């Protein structure tokens, strides 16, 4: 636990930054996260504004045997951006975005949300490949791979990442790119939170036409069969400029669970209407499709994926053909669980159909990301309010995402050994590095031992645990069991 005297010392060393401690104004607000399950009571929250200040905190924490964590958007559910009694390096004030239209680049500080990037780029008629919820931080999504509405045309976020600036375990400010520290840059693209505090990202920008055509449509649950048929037909069309999500949840202001869909087309409205016409023929109870600026598309899920409540996320993969009987079965699983825990009615299970051709064009060995394959992501997010329900909600999420994964293995032609897991959707893991990174596991462990041998960055447990297991003989403060626990 950080003592008050050490907190005062940290504040003295961090000239120009704010250090919040228990009882100080703003401290309680600084602890809030997207999920209440990820909130912990830090000994101090350092609201930094420069890379140099980040370096000071990392050095200070190592010197005084104190756990430190990095907070970008605070959007995870596993507590990786929080600490009980340690120091939070809060990047939220580092949210400047610089757009260079001549060189087609977008440079964003590590505390930016995708909303900041979308809006700044949009002013120039540009866009970066980003996430699908605009209040998500750019750091976690990027370092875990990053899928978005533009992935079908331009690939993953990491496939459009040109370079990063980070503070490493030795408190040095370094650049990683294809030219500088290329092995570190390889690791950062898929397993990056284990290797440093990234304070700046530079992305490739793309010309973005305005408006795009997108929206949501909500159906009664008895419309599942035609929606699954549309999903199969949509996936077979393999349109790189379109995406389609479908699944189950209780939408805001609805009395109970419904079938929800979200469609996106990066083009003219007449073409978008043609692509999604069979969806509308199923008779939605509500729909708001229409032309809108690209930056508004990432706000479509702002309310349904809002802050507050207790949440946990589990991810899986799915592939065509989608079998109506299986989706009927997992629909019933979700409904039965909501009957058991009525406060969990806002839980969701969504299947994300983003064309994966561009993702697969990149050689699997080019980055640490291990989820390139002919399949789509599925995400189960369980949301509830009572801490007494934590165990049953986590167990249900794990069982449901495992059921989806097992169905893929049983029914598709995808080689089970090639199936990666999207790290950003897998807060429920057993900490196995080989499970999350497959054939990249050994290289990642070797790089972890090269760049962070004392395990300063220990909150993404998969690489951390494997590296510690191999790192026999170390006796440093960061290798204590409490520090390496996988949440």
CA neighbor of 94 nearest in space, from 244, 198, 249, 205: 198
Strand partners, 201: 108, 164
What is the phi-psi region of residue 408: left when phi exceeds 0, alpha when psi lies from -120 to 50, beta otherwise? alpha
User: Do 146 and 371 touch, CB atoms closer than 8 A?
Assistant: no
Are β-strands 310-318 and 44-47 bridged in parallel, bridged antiparallel, or unpaired? unpaired
Q: Residue 304 has what pLDDT? A: 80
Give this prediction's pTM. 0.94
Q: Which residues of 359-397 are buried (b: 16+ CB within 10 A; e: fewer)?
A: beebebeebbbbbbbebbbbbbbbbbeeeebeeebbebb
CA distance 471 to 302: 43
CA neighbor of 74 nearest in space, from 43, 101, 113, 48: 113
Element (H, E) at 55: helix 51-63
What is the phi-psi region of residue 284: left when phi exceeds 0, alpha when psi lies from -120 to 50, beta otherwise? beta
CA distance 257 to 333: 12
pLDDT by 10s per residue, the chain, length 487: 788 899 999 999 998 899 999 999 999 999 999 999 999 999 999 999 999 999 999 999 999 999 999 999 999 888 899 999 999 999 999 999 999 999 999 999 999 999 999 999 999 999 999 999 999 999 999 999 999 999 999 999 999 999 999 999 999 999 999 999 999 999 999 997 899 999 999 999 999 988 999 999 999 999 999 999 999 999 999 999 999 999 999 998 898 999 999 999 999 999 999 999 999 999 999 999 999 999 999 889 888 888 999 999 999 989 989 999 999 999 999 999 999 999 999 999 999 999 999 999 999 999 999 889 888 999 999 999 999 999 999 999 999 999 998 888 777 776 555 556 788 888 755 556 777 888 888 899 999 999 999 899 988 766 776 676 766 444 333 433 323 222 2
Centroid of chain to Cα 233:
28
Burial class (CB in 10 A: 0-12, 13-18, 19+), 469: exposed
What are the two backbone dihedrals, phi and then psi, of residue 136, each rounded to the nearest 5 degrees? -80, 140
State the Rg of the chain over Cα: 22
CA neighbor of 298 nearest in space, from 74, 114, 127: 114
Are β-strands 197-204 and 258-265 bridged in parallel, bridged antiparallel, or unpaired? unpaired
Q: Residue 431 has what pLDDT? A: 54
* Non-local CB neighbours of 175 within 8 Å, separated by 6+ positions: 163, 164, 165, 181
Distance between the two ends of the chain, CA-based, in angstroms?
19
What is the phi-psi region of residue 326: left when phi exceeds 0, alpha when psi lies from -120 to 50, beta otherwise? alpha
CA distance 287 to 435: 39
Q: Residue 474 has what pLDDT? A: 43
User: Do 128 and 331 touch, CB atoms closer than 8 A?
Assistant: no
CA distance 464 to 445: 8
CA neighbor of 141 nearest in space, from 153, 130, 154, 127: 130
């Amino acid at each position: 636990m950080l003592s008050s005297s050490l907190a005062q010392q940290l504040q003295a060393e961090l000239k120009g930054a704010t250090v919040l401690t228990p009882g100080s104004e703003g401290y309680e607000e600084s602890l809030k996260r997207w999920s209440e399950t990820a909130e912990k009571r830090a000994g101090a929250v350092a609201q930094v504004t420069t890379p140099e200040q980040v370096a000071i905190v990392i050095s200070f924490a190592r010197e005084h045997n104190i756990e430190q964590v990095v907070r970008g958007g605070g959007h995870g559910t596993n507590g990786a951006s929080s600490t009980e009694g340690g120091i939070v390096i809060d990047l939220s004030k580092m949210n400047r975005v610089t757009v260079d239209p001549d060189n087609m680049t977008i440079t964003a500080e590590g505390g930016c949300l995708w909303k900041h990037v979308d809006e700044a780029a949009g002013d120039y008629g540009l866009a970066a490949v980003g996430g699908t919820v605009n209040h998500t931080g750019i750091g976690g999504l990027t370092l875990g791979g990053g899928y978005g509405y533009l992935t079908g045309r331009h690939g993953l976020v990491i496939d459009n990442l040109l370079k990063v600036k980070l503070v490493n375990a030795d408190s040095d400010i370094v650049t990683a790119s294809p030219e500088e520290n290329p092995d570190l840059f390889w690791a950062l693209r898929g397993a990056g939170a284990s290797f440093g505090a990234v304070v700046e990202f530079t992305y490739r920008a793309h010309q973005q036409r305005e408006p795009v055509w997108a929206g949501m449509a909500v159906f009664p649950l008895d419309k599942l069969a035609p929606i699954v048929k549309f999903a199969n037909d949509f996936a077979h069309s393999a349109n790189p400029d379109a995406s389609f999500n479908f699944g189950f949840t209780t939408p805001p202001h609805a009395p109970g669970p419904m079938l929800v869909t979200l469609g996106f087309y990066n083009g003219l409205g007449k073409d978008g209407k043609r692509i999604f016409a069979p969806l509308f023929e199923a008779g939605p109870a509500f729909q708001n499709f229409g032309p809108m600026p690209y930056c508004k598309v990432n706000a479509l899920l702002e309310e349904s994926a809002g802050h507050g409540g207790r949440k946990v996320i589990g991810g899986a993969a799915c592939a065509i053909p989608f079998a109506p009987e299986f989706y009927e079965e997992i629909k019933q699983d979700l409904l039965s669980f909501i009957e058991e825990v009525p406060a969990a009615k806002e839980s969701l299970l969504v299947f994300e159909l983003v064309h994966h051709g561009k993702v697969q064009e990149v050689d699997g060995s080019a980055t640490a990301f291990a989820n390139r394959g002919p399949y789509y992501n599925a995400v189960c997010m369980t949301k509830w309010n009572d801490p007494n329900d934590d165990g049953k909600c986590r167990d249900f999420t794990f069982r449901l995402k495992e059921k989806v994964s097992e169905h893929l293995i049983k029914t598709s032609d995808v080689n089970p050994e090639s199936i990666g897991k999207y790290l950003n959707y897998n807060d429920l893991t057993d900490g196995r590095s080989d499970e999350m990174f497959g054939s990249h596991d050994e290289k990642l462990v070797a790089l972890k031992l090269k760049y962070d041998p004392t395990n300063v960055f220990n909150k993404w447990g998969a690489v951390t645990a494997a590296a510690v297991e191999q790192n026999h003989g170390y006796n440093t403060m960061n290798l204590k069991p409490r520090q390496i626990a996988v949440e």
